[in-house]
């Protein structure tokens, strides 16, 4: 199970579509088998959501396929 201490050294990244790097996006961290940590870029010391990797992949696939209107 991924814990808060596991995330202390996480390398966070934003989408390349994130308005020129402004703090109005989510950030994700790679390198956590089975889960995708997600946080609000405007509040990097706030909470982190952990999504199952398969669910995150399905979400990204839906976004890429323009399934959400």
Residue 49's closest CA among 28, 22, 31? 28
Dist CA 42 CA 32 (whole Å): 22
Would you state the pLDDT for residue 21? 58
Would you state the pLDDT for residue 41? 86
Q: How many CA atoms lie within 13 A of 3 on its CB side?
A: 1
From the first residue on, what is the mean pLDDT of each consecutive set of 10 residues in the chain (69 residues)?
81 78 80 94 90 95 90
Would you state the pLDDT for residue 15? 75
pTM of this structure: 0.80
Residue 4: enclosing H or E segment and its boundaries? helix 4-7
Would you state the pLDDT for residue 29? 95
Would you state the pLDDT for residue 22? 61
């Amino acid at each position: 199970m991924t814990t808060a201490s596991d995330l202390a050294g996480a390398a966070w990244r934003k989408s390349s579509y994130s308005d020129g790097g402004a703090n109005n996006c989510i950030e994700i961290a790679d390198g956590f088998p089975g889960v995708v940590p997600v946080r609000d870029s405007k509040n990097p010391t706030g909470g982190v959501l952990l999504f199952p990797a398969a669910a995150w992949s399905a979400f990204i696939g839906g976004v890429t396929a323009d399934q959400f209107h």
